[in-house]
Structure 1
Amino acid sequence: MRLSPGVSAEEGLEQVCQSIYWSHDAAVLTTCAADPPGAVVTFVNPAFTDLTGYPAHEAIGRSPDQLLFGPNTNPAVPVDVLVAVKKGESFECESVVRRKDGTAAAVRSRVVPVRGPSGRAVRSLVFLRDTSGERKAERDARDARAVCDQLFASPALGVALADEDRRLVRVNAAFARMHGYAEHELVGTDLLKLVPPDHRDRAARAHSEYLTQGGPRTQDWLAACKDGSSRRVSGTVGAAVLGNGSRVLVITLADVSDQDRIQAQLRDANKMENVGRLAGGIAHEFNNLLTVVQAFAGMAAEALPPGHEARGHIAQVTRAADHAAQLTRQLLTYARRRPVEPQIVDLSAVVAGIADFLRGTLGDKVKLSIHTRESVHPISADPNLLVQVLVNLAANARDAMPVGGR
C-alpha cells in the first residue's frame, strides 16, 4: 500500500485509517520497528475491538506483539512478523490472538507495508481474520465424518445414502447383506430395485416426500432381495443437505425377519401352553371319572364268585381303565399339573409297554421296529415323562417322513 502523492504523511495516514475503519477484518496500524522506541500501535479499527475486546485507547501505544500473539502461537511467528514490519515487507501466517478476557482466538494474519512517496515503509498494516469459526466448522465436519464412518461400519445396522435421482451413492456391508448383494453391486443402483414391484409406485412418491419434507420417518416395509425373496425390515428415512446444496436420503435399516420368526414361535408356545392347560383340565376331570369306573369294577369283581364268566369282562374293563388312567397322568404331567415322581424303572419294559400306542400314533405309512436289550440297568425316572419323551420322538420322526418310512 502506498500513500497518495501530493499529500502530507499525516493526511496520507489519515486516509489509510479511514479506508480500513469499516473493514470486516480486524486491522492494526503500527509504526515500523526501525523507528524508536520500536514498533507501536497507532490505530485499530472497530473490528479489532470486536475481536480482541481492546478499545482503541487501550490498544494505541502498545507493542503489537502484546496484542497480536497469544498462547499456543508458534514461537517463530512473532519473530517473522516483527522482521517483516521492520523491513517493510508483506507477510502472512496463522497465529493466536489473546483477547482481553484471557481467551484466545485463532486468526490468519497478513502484514502489509504502508509506503510513502519515496517508497520507504512508514507504517505496517496488520489485518487479522478470525478463523475460529472456520476451524470449528472443520472440527465439526471431521466429527461428522467420524460419526458417519462409525455408522457405516455397523455390523448389524444397514446404512445407505441415495441421491435425488434415487441412485444409491453409498451403502455399508450390512445394508448389502440384508438384500443379498455385495456393496459394489448396489452403488449406482436405483433404490426402487430393492422394493417389491407392487410397492414401487408408493416408494417413488415417498422418496419425493422425504426429500422435500426432510424430517426422519420410521416405518416397516418389505425389502426385495437379489434371490427374488423379500424380507421385512424396520427403517428410518430422512433427508440431509450436502455442502454443495444437493439433498440425499439417509436410510438406516434393521432386519426384523428374525424378530417375526421369534414372535411366531412365541405365539405357538402360547398356543401350546393354552392347549396344555385345556388338556390338563380335561385329564383331571377324566381321571375322576376313571377312579369311579375302577372302583365299581373292583366292587363288581369282588361280588362275583371265582370262575364266573363276567370276571374276565370286568378284568378287561379294569385294564382299559388303568391304561386310560396312565394316559391321563401323562396329560397331567405335560400340562405341569402333576408333580414329577421319579422311581426305579426298566427302560426296556417302558418301551415295550407303549409299542402299540406308538404304532397307532405313527399311522400306517411308518413302520415301527423296537429292539431292546435284555440286560439293561434300571434307571431312576418318572415313567410318564419317559413315555412323553418317546412319544415326542416318534411324532417328530413321523413328521420328518411325510411319505412314510421305517
Structure 2
Amino acid sequence: MRRPFITFLAANALSVTGNIFSILAVPWFVLETTGSAVLTGLASFATTFPIVISAAFGGTLVDRFGYRLTSVVSDLVSGLIALAVPALFLTTGLSYPLLLLMLFLRWLVTTPGETARKAMLPDLSLAAGVRIERATAAYDGVCRGAAMVGAPLAGVLILWIGPHLLLFVDGVSFLLSALLIGAGVPRVRRNARDSAGYLGDLRAGLSFLWQDRLQLSATAMVVVVNLLDTGVTQVLLALYAREVVGDPRAFGLLTGVLGAGAVAGTIVYGAAGERLPMRLTYGLCFLLAGVPRVLVLALDAPFPVALAVTALSGFAAGAINPILGILQYDRIPVRLRARVIGAMTAAAYAGMPVGGLLAGSLSTLTGLDVTLLMFTSVYVLISAPPFVFRAWRELDRSR
C-alpha cells in the first residue's frame, strides 16, 4: 500500500521541478526577447499575483470537486498552457500581452493542484501506514529537494536549450505529474456534501481559521517570516555579497547551504520527530531558522562562519513545515481542509512582495548593517508566540 504514497511524492516532485523551471525560465525569456527590466518585473507580477488569488478562492472548489480530480485537472491545464508558450513563440509568434495572460492563467490553475495534493496527504499516509510526522517531512523534503536540484538544473538547461524550450520541459513535467496522480494514486475519501454554495463554503473556511487561535497565530507568524525571508533572500543577501564579501558567488553559496540544511533538517525530523516535544521543537526551530543567519551577517563575521551558521539555520527550518502540516491535518475538519489550507497559503504569499520593497528601502535609508539588525529584531519578536501564548500549549496535545 505504500506504492501510491511514493507515486504521490514523485508526482509532487515533478510539479515542483516544473514550477522552478518556469520561475527561472520566464524572466530570462522576457529579458532575451524584450531587453526590458520593467517588462520582466511585470511578468514576475503576473506569476506571483494569481497564486494569492487562487489560493484564497480556489481551496473551496478543491473541497467541492475532490482532491484527486482537482490535482489531475490542474496539472493537465497547467502543462498545456506551459507547452503553448514555446509552441506559439516558435510558430505564429507570441506577443508580450498574450504571454502575460498565459502566465497569469498558468499560475491561477496551478495553485489548486498544489492545495489538493497537500490536502490528500494525511489520507494517503494513513493508507500507507506512514506516521504523519514522517509523511509531512517526506512531503516537505521532496519539495525542498526538487527546488534545490531544479534551480541549478534550470540554469544549465537555459544555457543548453534556451529558456523557451525549458518552458516546454516545464509543461511535460506537469503532464507527467497528472498521469502519475491519475493512474497511480487512488481516490481518497470524499468530502461531506453539506455545501452552502460557493460563498457559504468560502465563508465557512475563513470563519474556522479566524476562530482557531492557534492556527491563526501560526499563520500570522508565517506571513511575517515570509515577508522577512523575501527581503533577506532577494535583496539583503545580494547586497551583503556585493558590499561585504565582494564576490557574487557568496550569494549563491549562502542560498545553497540554506536549502541543503533545510533538506537535512527535514530528513532528521522525519526520522525523530515523533519523539520530540512539538511546541518546544517548533518554537526553537522557528527562532533558529531566522535569527542566527541574519545576525551573523549584521556582525560582519568571516564568510566561512556565515556559511556554517546559515547551514544551521537551514537545518532548523527543516522541521517547521512538517509541524505546520501536522497542526493543519489534526485540527482542520476534512470537509474544510482545502479551503482553510488555501486561505493560509494565500496569506503566506501576500506579504512576500512587500519584503523586497521593505528591505530595499530600509537598506537605502539606514545602511545594510542596521537593516539586518532590524530584521533580526523582528525575527526574535515573531518567534515568541509558542513560548508566550497559552493557545500554543494545544500543540503538545495534537497527537
Interval containing the TM-score (normalised by the shorter chain): under 0.3
Report the structure, 1 or 2, having the larger helix content: 2
Higher Rg: 1
Higher relative contact order (CA 8 A, sep 6+): 2
Report the structure, 1 or 2, having the larger strand content: 1
TM-score by length of 2: 0.17
